[in-house]
Amino acid sequence: MKETCHSEWRSIKTLYMASPKDFWVNQESVAPQWKSIRYLAEPNYHRAVLEHQALVDKIENHGVKVTYFEGSTHAGLDAIYCRDASLFTDHGVVLCRMGKSTRDSEPSMQERTFRDQGISVLGAITAPGTLEGGDVAWLDEQTLAVAHGYRTNEVGFRQLQDLLSPLGISLVQVSLPHYKGSGDVFHLMSIFSPIARDLAVVYSPLMPVKFRQLLLAKGFKLIEVSDQEFETMGCNVLALAPRKCVMLAGNPRTKSALESAGCKVIEYEGHNISFLGSGGPTCLTRPAIRN
């Protein structure tokens, strides 16, 4: 099977992460930030570093090469959710433009790492367009689902379409609901996590009917997350390989449903790096190449 960036479920070969050790710096740096960016409570810096390293160890034990983004004092707490600032394609990286203004520096920070490593940049989303990586998910190698919500707007969608359509990639726009409003952390991948070619974890109450019907038409079996476990990020699941996935501990019903579907589930403790900032394992990783 050929290597590709156009998948959410094939075996990950390489991915990027951003450590709280490099971006949060210390507890004194965390303290004045967390309220303004709507974390649920103040995260503990030292525990966050340990949680993040434990997650990295679990991912590396699967044989994945993990590369860290270089730390920056200009980036805030949300920089550890590194999926959002870029999109990998087989034709180069697309640099996003964040819908959350406090995260404006993240795409350029990631660009420096990519260029230092010789990774080509296909293009960038520019003002007034916005696009965040959590709003983008591959349905298959030629089809990319892209949200229209508070983090990704119509202009950003059209700019991405202009970049990718000439390359034979079809974009499907998915309209997200208002839900908790413009200040909430809500992405397409808050309600949709592909686990295999024919399997996805979803939260249907917030899923547009048209998109849900498209998934079924494409042959996806849907594992439904309960209301309770949606609030604890049971729908945010990272596929390391087909039917091998990582999820935040504390979602037993979703874990059981995944195992009943033949999945191996790897749990991690993430109170400080995930729950408090509403960012699960898909948010904490920027997969690059899968095979």
Closest listed residue to residue 18, CA positions, set 74, 80, 67: 80
Closest listed residue to residue 187, CA positions, set 197, 177, 200: 177
Q: What is the per-residue pLDDT for 98? A: 97
Q: What is the per-residue pLDDT for 74? A: 81
Q: What is the per-residue pLDDT for 185? A: 87
Residues 92-126: pLDDT tens digits?
A: 999 999 999 999 999 999 999 999 999 999 999 99
Q: What is the per-residue pLDDT for 290? A: 98
Q: What is the per-residue pLDDT for 2? A: 86
Q: Where are the domains of the chain?
A: 12-290
Closest listed residue to residue 79, CA positions, set 70, 89, 88, 87: 70
Q: What is the mean pLDDT of each run of 10 residues along the chain (291 residues)?
A: 94 98 95 95 98 98 96 89 98 97 95 96 98 98 98 98 98 96 92 98 98 98 98 98 98 98 98 98 98 96
CB 268 within 8 A of CB 248: yes
Phi-psi region of 244 (alpha: psi -120 to 50; beta: other; left: phi over 0): beta
Q: What is the per-residue pLDDT for 71? A: 86
SS (H, E, C) the chain: CCCECCCCCCCEEEEEECCHHHHCCCHHHHCCCCCCCCCCCCCCHHHHHHHHHHHHHHHHCCCCEEEECCCCCCCCHHHHCHHHHEEEECCEEEECECCCHHHCCHHHHHHHHHHHCCCCEEEECCCCCCECHHHEEEEECCEEEEEECCCCCHHHHHHHHHHHHHHCCEEEEEECCCCCCCCCCCCHHHCEEEEECCEEEECHHHCCHHHHHHHHHCCCEEEECCHHHHHCCCCCCEEEECCEEEEECCCHHHHHHHHHCCCEEEEECCHHHHHCCCCCCCCCCEEEEEC
Distances (CA, A) of 147 to 29, 120, 136, 141, 287: 32, 25, 7, 18, 19
Q: Report the predicted TM-score, pTM, of the whole model to 2 decimal places.
A: 0.97
Q: What is the per-residue pLDDT for 124? A: 98
Q: Measured between alpha carbons, how far is 219 from 116 in angstroms, rounded to an integer? A: 40
Residues 48-93: pLDDT tens digits?
A: 999 999 999 999 999 999 999 998 878 899 999 999 999 999 999 9
**Phi then psi dihedrals of residue 87, to 5 deg:** -135, 125
CB count within 10 Å of CB 136 equals: 26
CATH number of 12-290: 3.75.10.10
Distances (CA, A) of 48 to 20, 53, 83, 91: 7, 9, 18, 35
